[in-house]
Structure 1
Amino acid sequence: MRRTDITDPRSGGDPGSRERWRPLAQQLSERFTAAGGSDEEMVQAAVTTILDAERRLGAHRPDFCQRVVPLVIRALRRHRRERIRGRSVGGRPLTALQLAVVAAEGELFRCLRRSPTVAEVATHLDMAQHQVVTGLEAGWPPGPGGFTPRPEDP
């Protein structure tokens, strides 16, 4: 995702404009971070997308938020997907992690005669549960058929 320099006059306005959209960006980015935490990189990606939309569409339109929220969600999904695919977990490349998780799932399915839980796969592979979840997420197809996080219950 492209970085925006807030001191550059061509970047979408003054620093106050960036801070005005920060609460919306934080709220949307929390949907894509683990345990409801705030990931500054995701917030910055969301703010940059909002500022680009503001520059193109104009924030004074009555339907600006309705138009910008889907754009931000798509940008955050893309950002998360690029970040997941661009890293390795525990020194193992994601392709090896994916293959290990799939093989363990198959083996446990044959033994248990049901789909194994994340905890069972993690125990079988002797790794942390978050690594198993990362391996599973990396195998999900991008786009409409992929993983869509459910909104948190209030």
Structure 2
Amino acid sequence: MATTISTGTTPQTTDLPEIRNPGEVAPKDAKELSKQFFDRLAVLEEGTAEYQYVRNTLIELNLSLVKYAATRFRNRSDQMEDIIQVGTIGLIKAIDRFDLSREVEFTTFAMPCVIGEIKRFFRDTSWSVHVPRRLQELRIDIARATDELFQRFDRSPTPAELAEHLGMEEEEILEGLVAANGYTAGSIDLPLDDSGDNSSETLGDRLGEPDRELEIVENVQALKPLIEQFDERDRRILKMRYVDEMTQSEIGAELGVSQMHVSRLLSRITARLREGLLAVE
């Protein structure tokens, strides 16, 4: 018996059974219904209203696969909504690629697609600092090898032992170990102890900061030999302007020259100092 399907424009008819709430269909029934819908999807033209209906119904019928796959990651309950969304993308990809002629159950074909999509999501988003995929995968290999060698040696293995076990160069292992530090990150404002005391010292309290006085010392040491190259008058002008903090007019009165002449002298002196500092750097 044909069922009328409203597409929002002109109703179309199809010989598929009507499913009012695909998400409420039992998994066993969904499996049988999916075969009928896949048969129909194979002969429909992509982009048509009926094609969209059949495809969307297949997605809703098989969302239970996504939810089942998501239970493998229940330890990440705070990300469960994202896991379901990403798993649904994997399901859609599986539906678009599935071929009934392969004589493989859709569930068998779809589960690796769904789980693979979820794992890719964790691989691409779980790292606090982005590192190349090669190093992400190397971190996993190093972690496995570390567990195996710890059981064998009853201690943590050295980079050289890890390299020999994995058949790699020690430099590659060291690179992987350094990259692994980017997997997780902690706030520098977290207390260093778990006492719950708000006054507890944080990591940020122990971090150093640039010493502003040290920069002054470096500049003085760099300027000193340059100033020694000036004649007595130029050194006197520098002292009056930047040590005694006299105005240009006051310096002009002291030297018996105009304020404009003092301005030109200061420009020439500072230009020489700037040129000398750049040459030193």
TM over 0.5: no
Q: Which has the higher contact order (CA 8 A, sep 6+)?
A: 1
TM-score normalised to the size of structure 2? Answer: 0.25
TM-score normalised to the size of structure 1? Answer: 0.42
**Bigger Rg, which one:** 2
